[in-house]
Amino acid sequence: MKGATLSTRYRLAVASRGVAAVFAGYGLATASGICLALFLPMSRSEAVLTGVMVSFLVYLCAVLWAFACRTALQAWLGIGVPALVLGGLAWLAKNGVLS
């Protein structure tokens, strides 16, 4: 990737990974933070705080994943799927389906 000319395809792939890392990664961090805050068996302030702290680590891992995996598609899937699952769980819990 240090070649003199970088193909447009390569640039687009990097940009796509960057978007996945920053935005989808934040989504995943948010979803996991909310799930921890709602489901951890602690007092609510403790659960929220744990959720927040872990969410920053999740964000970090998501960024690393976005650039470590083999293709940009994998970057999106690896971050998007768990984000949707956790987000769905949180939505269900908030709306009283799980309780």
DSSP 96: T
Tell me how far, at minimum, the Cβ of 38 lies from other proteins, in Å.
6
Tell me how far, at minimum, the Cβ of 97 lies from other proteins, in Å.
15
Within 10 A of 67 (CB to CB), how many other CB atoms are there?
13
Q: Which is nearer to other proteins, 52 or 81 (CB)?
A: 52
Helix (H, G, I), strand (E, B) or coil at 74: helix
Rounded Cα distance, 65 and 69, in Å:
6
Interface residue list for other proteins (CB under 8 A): 1-2, 4, 17, 29-30, 33-34, 36-38, 42-53, 55-56, 59-60, 63-64, 67-70, 90, 94
